[in-house]
Structure 1
Amino acid sequence: MSPAPLLLIGVAAGSVSALLYAAAASGSALALMLLYVAPLPILLAGVGWRHHAGLAGAAFGMVALTLAIGPKTGLYFALAVGLPAWWLAYLALLARVDAATGVTEWYPVGRLVAWCAGLGALLVAATVPLVGSTLEEYRAALRDVFSKALMGASPGGEAPQLPGGQDPKAVIELMTIAAPGLAATVWTLSTLLNLWLAGRICRSSGRLVRPWPDLAAMDPPRAAALILAAGFLGSFLPGLPGLIAALFAATFLLVFTLLGLAVMHVTTRAAPARGLILFALYALLMLQPWIALFLAGLGLSEQLFGIRRRFGPPPGGPPPTAPANLP
């Protein structure tokens, strides 16, 4: 495809993405949802029309927001939305050809998941200095936000009565401690969902370059377990280093939770009640999120012992339909 159509597609994707990002400024719940889907147009452009269109979209969105709102908004858009979406689209189509066999090897899904986790932790970590220069300042700012939100929900502006007689101060403190890790995890999960949606839409329209991967066969790099362990141990450090380490622990815990789910998908393939088992598992995960710890343990066991190998190789995908991003 000539550069002009790619540029037009990138401009269109960047415009939509920038509008979604700007709409989040209102601070409403719906606006925050729009913020999480802001990378999707750039991912669609990058996956469907190669990474050149995604890069054009990221650049146009940054320039448009810089001119319309200000340079800080344009810079934040580029760092939080545009460039991560372009990079993930580039990696998703990255491939190499084995000189001996002529087989095209595509960038592994497990590495894409690990990239999303690393980016999620880094982006939330990058916002910390904008809120406070120390851990105490950062948590004080979060505590103030949650206090105002909780008190504002009460008609008299006083501490509301919580179910079970819970102490509002204790709830606010828990939210203050959990919020950074939760934000990084939600960003990682939303980015994975956006990448999946971009792939499915491009596949349905016939524009997907790579064959659709068997997601249940995802295999994160070995370094992911080391990052999880280092993040967990580092979270005990005092100050901001401990907070940043906890962000990586949270996002890479999600990586191994997804790997645990992949193990369940593979090991239940021959089960007659597979659909019911998986439905019950996902429902339980939604109702009792702490189940994720057991799934993460299963994911770690898979990386150590290769549980899925005992259930046969994954089915192959269709052949590629277009050139890849060959290195």
Structure 2
Amino acid sequence: MASGLAAPLVLAVGGGLVSAFFYLAVLLGGFGALILGYLAPLPLFLVGLWLGAPTAVIAGLTGGAAVLLGTSGSLLVSVAYLLTGALPVVLVVRQSLLARVGGSGDLEWYPPGRVLLGLVGMGVAAVLVAMSLALDQPGGLEGVVRRMLAQLAEPLFSAQGLAAPGPEAVWMASALPGLVVISWIVMTVINAALAQGALMRFGRNRRPPMRMGALELPVWLLPVFAVSLAAALTLPDSFGFLGINLALILALPFAFAGLSVVHHVVSLRKTARAPLLVGFYMVLFLFGWPILLLVGLGMIEQWIGLRRRFDRAAPGQEDE
């Protein structure tokens, strides 16, 4: 029994140490170190999706302790690692490995759309906590962000002999918290997908792959997003700031839903599936603006069910 537990424990500790190394590599600077920092959750996902949520917890705690030692006792950096790296991994792993026996006797796995919404909920909670912590600051969280960005921009402008912009001139400050959360969610999803793909390659995965074309969102998400968008456009001061950032975060699931439509349509083709998807993602990452189209496409999918309509119109299917 002890020997049976030793291997998962060793893998968990090893995964945590590798994750901490990736996380601390950012302190060294350079583009390569930044990439390693983005991949810090990957070792945690590998051991978690392979061996289960308890292993992910052990790996995350090991990584947190290693970060604490690696930064000479910086509790703030260690807590940041636990909150932004380890905690979302544990959430995703736990939910992803939930399954129940359906009416047909097959296993029904926890829906990927709900796993995504768990991350979105964490992001929304982080913005709300940050706003509450900044209530006693001039201008609240938005004021803190504006002053921080102005301070970061000052050396860059001074080096070019230009006058640095004041805090009120930093236009992206209103949306920065939401953009940071979006970046964090996307990188978490990418790391989870990379880990699942690697485990499937070696036959170590516990659950089947989460197909992008099968992503489903709850019906209540669209009206909540609409309310947030209305608040962003109409409400002043802190309420408008909150509305902007909530609308940005809540738009992300619809972007993924739009991607699910693209994947579903491509999957209906008999040829050139991979080149089409590669070309689409190249356009998406090179230009950026198609993300807005994906959000709109995801909202339409949520409203009228585009994938079902494409299924009925596909060759070999009956039209309406």
TM-score computed with the length of structure 1 as normaliser: 0.80
CA distance in 2, matches of 1:175, 1:91: 34
CA distance in 2, matches of 1:191, 1:52: 19
* Paired position in structure 2 for 1:106: 109
Q: Which runs of 5+ in 1 are unaligned?
A: 161-166, 314-327
Tell me which moved more, 257-266 or 85-94.
Answer: 257-266
Give the alignment partner of residue 183 of structure 2, picking from 182, 186, 191. 186
CA distance in 1, matches of 2:139, 2:32: 30
CA 1:287–1:122 in structure 2 vs 1: closer, same or farther (change >3 Å)? same
Correspondence 1:11 to 2:9? no
CA 1:274–1:205 in structure 2 vs 1: closer, same or farther (change >3 Å)? closer
Give the Å deviation of 1:181: 1.7
Give the Å deviation of 1:78: 1.9
Give the alignment partner of residue 55 of structure 1, picking from 33, 54, 57. 57
SS of match in other structure, 2:139: helix
Q: In the alignment, residue 301 of structure 2 is paired with which amino acid?
A: E
Superposed CA offset, 1:110-148 (max 9, x none) = 222222222233335444556664471433433333334
Give the Å deviation of 1:11: 1.2
CA distance in 2, matches of 1:32, 1:247: 25
Q: Is the 8 A contact 1:114 1:224 kept in 2?
A: no
* Paired position in structure 2 for 1:21: 23
* Paired position in structure 2 for 1:318: none
Give the alignment partner of residue 248 of structure 2, picking from 250, 260, 266. 250
Correspondence 1:118 to 2:121? yes
In the TM superposition, 1:132-281 aligns within 5 A as: 133-134=136-137, 136-154=139-157, 156=159, 158-159=161-162, 173-235=170-232, 236-268=234-266, 269-270=268-269, 278=277, 281=280
CA 1:26–1:206 in structure 2 vs 1: closer, same or farther (change >3 Å)? same
CA 1:16–1:119 in structure 2 vs 1: closer, same or farther (change >3 Å)? same
Give the Å deviation of 1:53: 0.9
Give the Å deviation of 1:7: 1.8
CA 1:244–1:194 in structure 2 vs 1: closer, same or farther (change >3 Å)? farther
CA distance in 2, matches of 1:276, 1:204: 21
CA distance in 1, matches of 2:139, 2:33: 29
CA 1:170–1:29 in structure 2 vs 1: closer, same or farther (change >3 Å)? farther
* Paired position in structure 2 for 1:323: none
Superposed CA offset, 1:272-324 (max 9, x none) = 676665555434433443332222121111112111113339xxxxxxxxxxx
* Paired position in structure 1 for 2:47: 45
Q: In the alignment, residue 258 of structure 1 is paired with which amino acid?
A: F
**Number of matched pairs:** 306
Give the Å deviation of 1:34: 3.5
Q: Is the 8 A contact 2:150 2:167 kept in 1?
A: no
* Paired position in structure 1 for 2:298: 299
Correspondence 1:83 to 2:82? no
Give the Å deviation of 1:27: 6.8
CA 1:251–1:84 in structure 2 vs 1: closer, same or farther (change >3 Å)? same
Tell me which moved more, 15-24 or 173-182.
Answer: 15-24
Q: In the alignment, residue 297 of structure 1 is paired with which amino acid?
A: G
Tell me which moved more, 212-221 or 268-277.
Answer: 268-277
Tell me which moved more, 122-131 or 145-154.
Answer: 122-131
TM-score computed with the length of structure 2 as normaliser: 0.81
CA distance in 1, matches of 2:304, 2:23: 43
CA distance in 1, matches of 2:128, 2:34: 19
Q: Is the 8 A contact 1:6 1:52 kept in 2?
A: no
Which one has more relative contact order, counting CA pairs under 8 Å at least 6 apart?
Answer: 1
Q: In the alignment, residue 141 of structure 2 is paired with which amino acid?
A: Y
Q: Is the 8 A contact 1:125 1:247 kept in 2?
A: no
CA distance in 1, matches of 2:10, 2:248: 38
Q: In the alignment, residue 308 of structure 2 is paired with which amino acid?
A: R
CA distance in 1, matches of 2:78, 2:203: 33
Q: In the alignment, residue 5 of structure 2 is paired with which amino acid?
A: P
Q: Is the 8 A contact 1:48 1:207 kept in 2?
A: yes
CA 1:54–1:186 in structure 2 vs 1: closer, same or farther (change >3 Å)? same
Tell me which moved more, 221-230 or 301-310.
Answer: 221-230
Correspondence 1:95 to 2:93? no
Q: Which runs of 5+ in 2 are unaligned?
A: 313-320
CA distance in 2, matches of 1:238, 1:281: 38
Paired-residue identity, %: 30
Give the Å deviation of 1:9: 1.5
